[in-house]
Amino acid sequence: MGRFGGGTTGSRAVTDVAPGTTVAVSVPATSGNLGAGFDCLGLALDFRDDYRARVVEKAGFQVETTGIGADELPQDGTHLVAQSMNVALEKLGLRLPGVQVLCRNRIPHSRGLGSSAAAIVGGVALAYALGGDGEIHRAKVFQLAAELEGHPDNAAPAVFGGLTISWKEQDSGPAQATSLTVADDISTVIFLPDAISPTTAARAALPKQVPLTDAVHNCARSAMLVAALTGRPELLFEATGDQIHQEARRQGYPAAMALVDELRSRQIAAAISGAGPGVIAFCQADQVDELIDLAIEGYQPRQASVGGGLTQLSN
């Protein structure tokens, strides 16, 4: 855990951060899985949360939130940004008396758009920015954020932007990722649900084992999806088909799966976004208005562009 005016941990050197030091970062919304790419494919989107931290004399975390969730989120060290920042401060050996954190939230919560990943990445990045050289060190931020979240498919696009492929070395080692550029002629529409679905509940519904044929199906489609999003849009519909995680969670978000079924019946490449219940659809530019105009009860369609990753803001 981070230290606020305390001593050292073991023999690790401690660096004091002076009151008045201010840093700020911006983190994008993300969509994980994208159909067949369970826990390994992710996409950054163009709406973002911004986080600013200022070192102050008063001990502990003071968190202020504006925008989405402002009336619901904690205002102290239990806030997810503060918790992840605290872990990173300890890891870096940074000591400070206290910190004020301002969160400007634009990413909807509990809808499969990476709000938790954004908070974790933001907190870790703030800690790195408070380090001696003032840099956010994206690769290190990603590895710690993926460790804290437990899976890297949202942390990777949140840090690196674009389309990301992520994995762990030897399955249990540190997380790794690579980012690719999505073709310009592919458009994205997000269907934002009125209802919410916590990620933990969605994960609890997943099977411990899957049939070999389903695993082969998803391996082929996830590889195909990388090709589709980087320049072969005619493959998108087939590439977004999943046989591992979406059907297993149908009972948890029946309306979302009904929407996916409806879109796919129209030959639209659609999938559950992350743990749901948001839905992501890929299409050509001339199809966007058709999707935006769909009247889907309980869902609000929104066009979204592919976004960049973690950025450091000026103070």
129-166 pLDDT, tens digit per residue, is 998 777 889 999 999 999 999 889 999 999 999 999 99
Residue 172 is assigned to a structural domain of this protein: yes
Q: Are residues 247 and 298 in the same domain?
A: yes
The total number of structural domains that make up the chain = 2
**pLDDT for residue 289 is more than 80:** yes
Give residue-wise pLDDT tens across range 227-244.
999 999 999 999 999 999
Residue 7 is assigned to a structural domain of this protein: no
Give residue-wise pLDDT tens across range 45-69.
999 999 999 999 999 999 999 999 8
Residue 137 is assigned to a structural domain of this protein: yes
Residues 106, 48 contacting (CB under 8 angstroms): yes
Residues 238, 222 contacting (CB under 8 angstroms): no
Short-list 29, 23, 73, 79, CA closest to 51? 23
Give residue-wise pLDDT tens across range 28-47.
999 999 999 999 999 999 99
What is the residue range of 165's domain?
15-178+307-313
Q: Residue 291 is part of a domain; what is its CATH number?
A: 3.30.70.890
Residue 8 is assigned to a structural domain of this protein: no
**pLDDT for residue 9 is more than 70:** no
Residue 150 is assigned to a structural domain of this protein: yes
- What's the distance, Cα to Cα, between the start and end of the chain in Å? 26
Q: Are residues 29 and 120 in the same domain?
A: yes
Q: In this predicted structure, what is the pLDDT of residue 168?
A: 87
Give residue-wise pLDDT tens across range 296-310.
888 999 999 999 999
110-119: buried (b, 16+ CB within 10 Å) or exposed (e) per residue? Answer: bbbbbbbbbb
Mean model confidence pLDDT for the chain = 91
Residue 231 is assigned to a structural domain of this protein: yes
Residue 290 is assigned to a structural domain of this protein: yes
Q: Are residues 154 and 242 in the same domain?
A: no
Give residue-wise pLDDT tens across range 185-199.
999 999 999 877 666
Q: Residue 173 is part of a domain; what is its CATH number?
A: 3.30.230.10
